[in-house]
Amino acid sequence: MEPSGAKAEGCADKRRLVDRYGKATEAYLQSMHELRVRVATSPKTDYERLRRAAEEARETAEQARIALDQHLAAHDC
């Protein structure tokens, strides 16, 4: 049984995972914006570098979401 108010206060791990997911998602959105803005004006090598960075940011955000989902499923918080 949980101590009184523990669920209302929230879980520190959940807050950390939500923050991590939010930051990773923001980084992905920023990298996609950069890619869109520079797509027509960048040399192919720069475009490929930006595309890879966007893909890595997407993967990081996806892993953060999975970690959050797993925590929520395991801890019901």
In the prediction, which pLDDT does 61 show? 98
- Within 1-77, residue ranges assigned H as helices are 6-9, 12-38, 44-75
Q: Would the pLDDT of 7 be above 70? A: no
Please tell me the pTM assigned to this model.
Answer: 0.80
Span 21-77, pLDDT tens digits: 999 999 999 999 999 999 889 999 999 999 999 999 999 999 999 999 999 999 988
pLDDT of residue 3: 47
Joined together, the tokens standing for residue 16 give 């950390």
